[in-house]
């Protein structure tokens, strides 16, 4: 009688090479205890979040500006940039609310360096235990300087390590359609911006805004890494980020008007940020200033739905390849960025025009 597939003995597995040892990561609770928030810092971050909510709700007529490197490749460089941004923020705070991009994860179209949290040494070894620690410590240092911190949350499991430090969060064009990210956003204290899809479609972002505004029950991890059911209250402080699509911009007046009407038709508050880079700049970092000036003109013409801008900026202009031992200080290793002098000029100009 032939044995069934369920009871038939399995052949011996072929010899396999020894698997590399698995990294054991610290739990979110361990990192929170290693670098906790003081009561004063926690209160400041809550105040920063409320200031951004006030802009979205129309109680504050300043323009929200999320600015900083495309990605953080070196904590020392990031702190150098942050100290300059603190000084700049003091000069323009009457008309602009400055938030620093501290992006430690990078979505990849195929492969490539995934960011500081994944590969802090930029050498392919992927020391994530050090990467998440460095990321939390860096965000903590920047928050202590007085700057609101922004990041894109790409891996939901990373969020509990960082979310107490964040004032603003991006959900990117590749993940806005993801149910996991909509659930994540629904439980964040930070304000969340959902980007339109890479093809320019804003419908997925509108669906995301609606979904994130509702309570959810979903799988999650507690501070000590145990699986739990997460109960979220819903996050009503979300908004659309226009970043263009398939090489075509969507920041001009006609695009903004269509986006505003689509939000209103969906029963959503019309709140829009324009990402001055990516397809809106046609992948030319120099054109970010052109986009910014157009958005300012729309604001001054009465387009109140425009509440924010995003600018990719670094200490020095352009980008560089990742070549071991040949990295130039303060130059992006991902998308090309504006240099500090151009950034300073744009921020001063924006504040002056809005006064």
Question: Domain segments of the chain: what residues?
Answer: 63-298+306-330
Query: b vs e for 159-189, b when ≥16 Cβ sit within 10 Å of the residue's Cβ?
Result: bbbbbbbbbbbbbbbebbbbeebbbbbbbbe
**CB 309, CB 343: distance < 8 Å:** no
- Measured in whole angstroms, how far is the alpha carbon of residue 169 from the centre of its chain? 5
Do the Cβ atoms of 350 and 99 come closer than 8 Å? no
Average pLDDT over residues 37-64: 98
pLDDT surpassing 90 at residue 331: yes
CA 36, CA 137: separation in Å to the nearest integer?
Answer: 10
User: Average pLDDT of 220-229?
Assistant: 92
Q: Assess whether pLDDT exceeds 90 at residue 192.
A: yes
Q: What is the pLDDT of residues 239-272, one digit of tens each?
A: 999 999 998 999 999 999 999 999 999 999 999 9
Mean pLDDT for the chain? 94
pLDDT tens for residues 14-42?
Answer: 555 566 678 899 999 999 999 999 999 99
pLDDT, position 21: 72
pLDDT value at residue 16: 57
Give the strand pairing for 216-221 and 227-232. antiparallel
Cβ atoms < 10 Å from Cβ of 139: 26
User: Would the pLDDT of 7 be above 80?
Assistant: no
Please give the average per-residue pLDDT across 195-202, as a whole number: 96
Is the pLDDT score of 9 beyond 90? Answer: no
pLDDT digits (tens, 9 = 90+) for 148-175: 999 999 999 999 999 999 999 999 999 9
- Give the pLDDT of residue 324: 78
**Predicted pLDDT at 323:** 87
Tell me if 177 sits within 8 A of 155, measured CB to CB.
no
> Tokens 């010899």, residue?
15
In this prediction, residue 15 carries a pLDDT of 52
**Which residues in 77-91 are b (16+ Cβ under 10 Å) and which e?**
bbeebbeebeebbee
What percentage of the chain has pLDDT greater than the value 70? 94
Query: What CATH number labels 63-298+306-330?
Result: 3.20.20.70
């Amino acid at each position: 009688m032939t044995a069934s597939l369920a009871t038939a003995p399995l052949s011996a597995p072929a010899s396999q090479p020894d698997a590399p040892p698995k990294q054991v990561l610290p739990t979110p609770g361990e990192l929170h205890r290693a670098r906790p928030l003081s009561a004063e810092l926690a209160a400041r971050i809550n105040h920063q979040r409320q200031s951004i909510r006030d802009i979205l709700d129309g109680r504050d007529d300043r323009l929200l500006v999320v600015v900083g490197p495309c990605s953080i490749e070196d904590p020392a460089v990031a702190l150098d940039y942050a100290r300059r941004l603190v000084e700049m923020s003091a000069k323009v705070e009457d008309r602009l609310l400055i938030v620093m991009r501290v992006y430690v994860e990078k979505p990849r179209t195929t492969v490539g360096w995934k960011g500081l949290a994944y590969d802090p040494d930029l050498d392919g070894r992927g020391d994530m235990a050090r990467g998440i620690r460095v990321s939390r410590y860096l965000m903590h240092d920047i928050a202590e300087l007085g700057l609101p911190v922004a990041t894109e949350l790409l891996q939901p499991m990373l969020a509990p390590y960082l979310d107490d430090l964040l004032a603003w969060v991006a959900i990117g064009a590749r993940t806005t359609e993801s149910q996991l990210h909509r659930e994540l956003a629904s439980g964040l204290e930070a304000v969340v911006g959902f980007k339109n899809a890479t093809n320019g479609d804003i419908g997925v972002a509108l669906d995301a805004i609606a979904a994130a505004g509702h309570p959810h029950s979903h799988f999650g991890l507690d501070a000590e890494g145990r699986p739990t059911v997460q109960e979220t209250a819903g996050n009503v402080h979300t908004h659309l980020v226009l970043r263009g699509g398939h090489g075509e911009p969507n920041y001009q007046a006609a695009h903004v008007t269509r986006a505003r009407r689509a939000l209103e038709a969906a029963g959503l508050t019309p709140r829009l940020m324009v990402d001055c880079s990516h397809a809106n700049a046609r992948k030319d970092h120099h054109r970010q200033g052109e986009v910014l000036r157009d958005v300012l003109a729309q604001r001054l013409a009465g387009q109140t739905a425009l509440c924010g801008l995003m600018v990719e900026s670094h200490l020095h202009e352009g980008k560089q390849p990742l070549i071991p031992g040949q990295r130039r200080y303060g130059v992006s290793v991902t998308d090309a960025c504006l240099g500090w002098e151009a950034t300073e000029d744009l921020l001063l100009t924006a504040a002056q025009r809005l006064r």
